[in-house]
A and B are shown apart, each in its own frame.
Chain A
């Protein structure tokens, strides 16, 4: 395992502080095999895990990573997760999606499923697990409204934490190609003197950027180096 990048996105300029709060992102990569994705004829699908009532990887994070890969790897057409799930219904629903490679192998025993995945040109499946949660909050904010107007006064702050892990499966060799994990933490502020002014830490967005870039590098090391 190597620490490929540690990004500290705390804002220095006072003007920028008015737009966002502070976020730090840490990305780790573990490569288990070499990848040889040919973007001209193969594709990738990014899927979120939804296998239990308590467990939900945000679809917007999954879509964000897919968009980032598509934008960063020339010629790559990332298959949208909803389209993949519809075309493979009922095999990749929350109740049936394979959690382990051996279960994936047993689903592929069904020729219809194997042919459908081959037909879509899917070479790698990227499973995203994790979530962004609010871990801390403090302060107080009071708002009053009346016939003559209104306003808010106070100060609030809260901390968000993102923890995601991407597990990359190779459809051709039916093996795990690697894992990439991301931790991001950020503090948001909400000062209010008549009007509340939110200073939002974009924790999930930064986690997406960190993880998306690392997955891009995982598939095509030269693409990220060039950019």
Chain B
């Protein structure tokens, strides 16, 4: 059933009451699953380096002007790269020393930002993610150092709890990162050259 926006005025009152009663500190664990991308696998054996810090990453709000917030997204972001890369390459190795991998991919998170309706006066929660993805050959030579920005927003902020809204916004932002990685990887100039060279050598 659709609840019209007029109802949101009432919900706003209850949200404010609930906000007053709630503790200031909020902890959220992002629990997300991602679909395998519909792309042809590249004829490449790849290795995915996911460090402990990446898999355990959590965002902590340090600003004194904002409520305390703790968002654990390490598991979700690791899952995204595992699922997306698992479909993008002929084979994917996750265990060191990445035996047989022709290239190694190591993502790291550079930045996490969010905005809540109280701050933006819009009825949406927004999340921005910034990743650095380094692509290396097994000998350590860097092939590409790529920045990917992901954006996600919840469409119906006041119909959800803050936890649900942040969960949805982070999941959408991660999906957006996956979109760019899955479609853009083979279009990176450095990767175009490398793929041509590698495939050329393989066919000779």
Contact = CB atoms under 8 A, between A and B. Distances in A.
Question: Interface residue tally of chain A, by bracket?
Answer: 35 or more
A90 B9 contact: no
B18 interface: no
Contacts of B10: 190, 196, 198
B183 interface: yes
A158 B1 CA distance: 21
A29 B112 CA distance: 44
B5 A64 contact: no
Contacts of A86: 35
A205 B4 contact: yes
Interface residues of B, number: 32
Interface stretch (A2-10, A93-101, A165-173, A215-223): A93-101
B36 to A, nearest CB: 8
Contacts of B34: 89
Contact of B5 (A59, A88, A93, A132): A132
B38 interface: yes
Interface centre among A89, A132, A201, A203 (most CB of B within 10 A): A89
Interface of B: 1-10, 34-40, 124, 126, 151, 153, 155-156, 159, 172, 175-176, 178-180, 182-183
Interface of A: 21, 50, 53, 56, 58-61, 64, 86-91, 93-96, 112-113, 116, 132-134, 137, 156, 158, 160, 186, 188, 190, 196, 198, 200-205, 208
List the 4 shortest-distance A-B pairs measured between CB atoms, nearest first: A90-B179, A188-B6, A86-B35, A89-B35
